[in-house]
Amino acid sequence: MGARATEEPRGYHHGNLRRALLDAALALFAERGHHDFTLRELARVAGVTHNAPYRHFASKADVLAALRDEGLAKLAEAEHAALAAAGPSPRERVQALGESYVRFALEQPTLFRLVLSAPLEEGEANKARASESYRLLERTLEEARRAGAVRQDLSARELALASWAFVHGIATLLASGRLPATPAAVKRTVALLSTVFFEGAAHGAPPRTRA
């Protein structure tokens, strides 16, 4: 991955400072548990002066925004990958989406909090990406509904909302350390919630041919 940019022999120009700064921020996120880094610290880690970052970001808030966008993109990517790897069963596909969401929250708790627990700004691109991730969920539930895997008296939109709340709830609780996050515990928790959700989501569905 990224080279350790602590004290590299480099010329006047840093190869890709923007990338280095974002990486440094992510590294700090992982190291500490929160995202109140300092711009000057990022610059120090990247080996540039406290002012160089301003050639790539308008302000500190702008760095945060870039990180949010990046996180959102990573999440969407992970979701797509999960769907691609999932089998054809509608339930399995919905579950794959939820699991990738939770996994994201567990692997990068601070980033997850930054991206999805912070209040929405006027973030246009941000909102768009979030909508994209959400639309993926809605589409998947639409498929599940068409396949008769879930109750028909609720719209795909409603089911998507319900599942989102459910998954987001677990993810948030896990990412903030309010639920035990050992692999075994996580697996158990996810399985449990999945059971409850699908029972609730399936009940009322007219008996259908395909599963």
Instruction: Rule CB under 8 A: choose which of 30, 58, 81, 120 binds a copy of itself.
Output: 120
Q: Which long-range contacts link 15-23 to residues 24+ away (Cβ below 8 Å)? A: 17/46, 17/48, 17/52, 17/53, 17/55, 17/56, 18/56, 18/57, 20/45, 20/46, 21/46, 21/53, 21/56, 21/57, 21/63, 22/63, 22/66, 22/67, 22/70
For the bound state, the minimum distance from the C-beta of residue 123 to DNA, rounded and expressed in Å, comes to 17
The site for DNA (CB under 7 A) is made up of: 10-14, 17, 37-41, 48-52, 54-56, 59-61
Residues numbered 132 to 191 that lie near a copy of itself (CB under 8 A) are 154, 158-159, 161-162, 164-170, 172-173, 175-179, 189
In whole angstroms, give the CA distance from residue 2 to residue 23.
Answer: 8
Helix (H) or strand (E) holding 146: helix 124-146
Smallest gap from residue 200 Cβ to a copy of itself (A): 3
How many residues touch a copy of itself (CB under 8 A)?
43
**CB closer to a copy of itself, 55 vs 127:** 127
Taking CB under 8 A as the criterion, the residue among 119, 124, 182, 184 binding a copy of itself is: 119
**DSSP character for 119?**
P
Angle made by CA atoms 134, 136, 141, in degrees to the nearest 5:
100
Q: Which of a copy of itself, DNA, none interacts with 198 (beta carbon under 5 to 8 A by kind)? A: a copy of itself
- Contact of residue 61 among DNA, a copy of itself, none (CB under 5-8 Å per partner type): DNA
Catalog residues that contact a copy of itself under the rule CB under 8 A.
33-34, 109-110, 113, 116-120, 130, 154, 158-159, 161-162, 164-170, 172-173, 175-179, 189, 192-193, 195-201, 203-204, 211
